[in-house]
Amino acid sequence: MEQYRYTLEKGAKKNLCPHCYKKKFVRYVDTLISEYLPEQYGRCDREIKCGYHLNPYINDYSSSVWKKEQDHGKVCKFNEPKQIKKVSKEDNLAPIPFEVLESLLTGYEKNVFIQTFLTRLEFPFKIQDIEKVISQYYLGTILETGACAFPFIDLNNNVRAIQEKIFDHANHTDKSKKYHTGWVHSRLTNTEFKNKQLPDWLKAYNQNDSKVSCLFGEHLLTKYPCNPIALVEAPKTAIYGTLYLGFPEDPANLVWLAVSNLSSLNLNKCRALKGRKVYLFPDLSKNGRAIKLWKNRAKEIQEQLQGSYFEVSDLLEQFASKKDIVEGKDLADFLENLDWANFRKMKNENLNVHQKPKFKQFELGNEELNIAKPDSIEIDFVSKLDYLKYEYLNRIGTHRENYSQKEWLDLDDGIFWSDLIKHLDKCNLTSLKLDIDRTSNN
């Protein structure tokens, strides 16, 4: 394996970014002499909102250092660097004891995220569904703040990390709180055990070079070995996907997993997906930066994982208005105002391949649109997304009769929808390489 002299510093330490001035900057380190490079060299973790990255190999810094060292007669042993410990998910990473997670599996009446599903949505969920998703993902509660705990559990049922996030009553991150997003190990280190002797497990865990070393929901892969996979950025989105689009007991439904954030999609995390069919749904971003980043990474990952199929979906781009893009919405933002019960009804609309395909009919003014339901393992998923489009197209909850056709299309993303209808035959609804034909009833 090629050893680079200049690498980004490992660990959780962050510095002020010279571009956006947020404490999200990771500096480059010279591994030969164990020193930082000049402070402008590094990468900001805010890849979409900032994107600053000064690479020493791109701007000739490395070559200039090499030349100076040659001029001074210094021999650089690039092929004999200091011994660097190889770290993998299965090797030498100290886990979080399950007892720590178990202590969080309580207090759901104080969990703002959970209570919103039960009482604050326009179409609240049944308690049985919420209990089921809590059990499936081991969701917990931070009693002091009402935050939701999202554990990252690997294939071997080791707890690799526990994220905690404070939500408002709309289930959006409550950014009015200073520490709205964090990790259990950091909170324990800096609060409960501050100025105290750390327990042995926390000492060992804090020495891990990699903390979030697996996917959120990864433990479900062994239980559901045949299901296709949906991969999103945040654990919250994975929970919404499961609740609205179906639990994985049905092999036609997806197992919803999350990487943690946009920049966390990498080969090491995705090794558990070898041999699986994976559909990726990045959040919206200006100029499509997020989807471009994930397409590039997905291609690289697929090349390394034999027998795997990675497809990055442009589903959100098809639904999104300019406002949605500016706000960086994710799939959960599109689902949260819809009636989940209507998705469940579609469950009983099984397609008989020996019969004429059924059609779902949409209306736009005097124009009717008929979409054939495809025959594949993703049929249920695609049908549900058809309904998602139907609800947005018809502005569920808005009194259409109060508007002329032009006024209706001028509402929010209505112009986009009009354009989508006109060009539907050129669009692939889910980017799942499925044929969704535009046809007419005879």
- pLDDT by residue (tens digit) across 155-165? 999 999 999 99
* pLDDT tens-place values along the chain, 442 residues long: 456 788 888 876 788 887 777 888 898 888 888 788 888 888 888 877 777 888 888 766 766 666 666 655 544 444 333 343 443 444 578 999 999 999 999 999 999 999 999 999 989 999 999 999 999 999 999 999 999 999 999 999 999 999 999 999 999 999 999 889 999 999 999 888 888 889 999 999 999 988 999 999 999 999 999 899 999 999 999 999 999 988 999 888 899 999 999 999 999 999 999 999 999 999 999 888 999 999 999 999 999 998 899 999 888 887 788 888 999 999 999 888 888 887 766 654 543 333 333 333 333 333 333 333 333 434 455 555 666 656 555 544 454 455 555 554 455 544 444 444 444 434 343 333 333 333 333 3
The pTM assigned to this predicted structure is 0.67
How is residue 27 written in tokens? 């500096």
Query: What per-residue confidence (pLDDT) applies to 350?
Result: 40
- Residue 117 CA: distances (Å) to CA of 113, 242, 359, 440: 7, 13, 32, 39
* Residue 308, both tokens: 């795997």
| φ and ψ of 281, to 5 deg | -125, 85
- Report yes or no: 94 and 205 within 8 Å, Cβ to Cβ: yes
Q: Three-class SS of residue 99?
A: helix
What is the β-pairing status of strands 159-165 and 181-183?
A: antiparallel
- Return the residue matching tokens 């090499």: 66
What is the C-alpha end-to-end distance of the chain, expressed in Å?
Answer: 62
Residue 381 in contact with residue 252, Cβ under 8 Å? yes
Name the residue among 380, 374, 116 with its Cα closest to residue 250: 380
Return the H-helix or E-strand segment holding 132.
helix 127-137
281 vs 279: CA distance, rounded Å: 7
CA angle 391, 392, 394 (to 5 degrees): 70
Largest Cα span, the chain: 84
Angle at 164 between CA 159 and CA 167, to 5 degrees: 145
- HSE-CB of 397 using CA atoms within 13 angstroms: 7
Residues paired with residue 362 on neighbouring β-strands, in sequence order: 369
Q: Are 310 and 432 in contact (CB under 8 A)?
A: no
CA gap 434, 373 in Å, rounded? 10
What is the amino acid identity at position 307? G
Model pLDDT for residues 22-55, shown as the tens digit of each residue: 888 898 888 888 788 888 888 888 877 777 888 8
CA–CA gap between residue 73 and residue 281 (Å, rounded): 52
Give the list of residues 6+ apart from residue 359 with CB closer than 8 angstroms, or none.
370, 371, 372, 373, 439, 441
